[in-house]
Copies of this chain bind each other. A is one copy, B any other.
Amino acid sequence: MREGPDIARIASLVGDPARANMLTALMGGTALTASELALEAGVSLPTASSHLSKLMEGGLLTLASQGRHRYYGLAGPQVAGMIEAITGVAASVGPQRVRPGPRDAAMRVARVCYDHLAGEQAVAMLDRLVDKKVLIRDDNEIRLGQSAASHFAALGIDVQSKARRPVCRACLDWSVRRSHLAGTLGAAILDKILLEKWARREKDSRAVIFSPLGKQAFERTFLA
C-alpha cells in the first residue's frame, strides 16, 4: 500500500457525472444554490443535496448561507485549477464529443471561466498580447514580458501578485482547443471589463455579452 494524500477520495468526488457537472457549472465563478445546481446536473433536488454534502465534506466547496438560500461555490483557486487540469486531459484524450463547442453562440464568443474570460474573444486577446510581446508564451506556460508592468499599469491593473496564485496561466479553452489567459491577471482583466461596463454577464449563464461600444473599447484596448 501507499501513503500520501488520499487522491482517490478527491478524484472519485469529481468522478460522478452529476457532481462533475456541478463543479463545471461552478467554474462560472458565481456561487449557485442547490436548486440551480440540481438543474445543471440534471438530477432531482434530494440527489443534488446529497452530492453537495459529499462535496462539502470533501472540502471542494464552500457554503454561504443567506437566509433561506444556500450558495455553494468552489473552495478556491486550487480546486479550480484541479478541475481545469482534469478538463484539459479530458479534452485532449477524450473521445471527441459530437458537438465541438458550446451550442450557444454567445457562449462561444465570450464566457466566464471561474474568474476570468474564456471564449473566442479571450483566445484572441491572449494571442494579441503574445504578439505584442506583452506576455511571453512557451506553449503551456505564460510569463510577463518586459513591457507587461507598464502596459497593464496604464489600464489600472497591477501585475504584482500578492495572492497565492500565479499571475498568469494558460487555461485550455475546450470550445476552440486553444488557450486563454487565467491567473490573477486574467481575473483582473475580467474585473475591468465588467467594471467599465464593456460587457455584462448573462443572468443564469456563463455567457458574457459585450455592448457595441464595449466591444469597440475592448478591441481597441486588447486587440489593437
Contact = CB atoms under 8 A, between A and B. Distances in A.
Interface of A: 1-17, 19-21, 23-25, 40, 42, 58-60, 75, 78-79, 81-95, 97, 99, 101-103, 138-141, 143-144, 161, 163-167, 169, 174-175, 183
B97 A89 contact: no
B7 A86 contact: yes
Contacts of A141: 161, 165-167, 169, 183
Contacts of A169: 141
Contact of A138 (B5, B84, B167): B167
B139 A161 contact: yes
A68 to B, nearest CB: 27
Contact of A14 (B7, B84, B97): B7
Given A3-B103, A11-B14, A82 B88 contact: yes
A32 to B, nearest CB: 13
B20 A83 contact: no
From A11, A16, A40, residue with most partner B Cβ within 10 Å: A11
Contact of A164 (B9, B102, B140): B140
B11 A15 contact: yes
B4 A174 contact: yes
A94 B6 CA distance: 7
B4 A97 contact: yes
From A8, A12, A139, residue with most partner B Cβ within 10 Å: A8
From A5, A15, A78, A175, residue with most partner B Cβ within 10 Å: A5
Given A14-B15, A16-B12, A166-B141, A86 B82 contact: yes
Contact of A8 (B3, B8, B14, B78): B14
A65 B85 CA distance: 29
Contacts of A161: 138-139, 141
Contacts of A95: 6
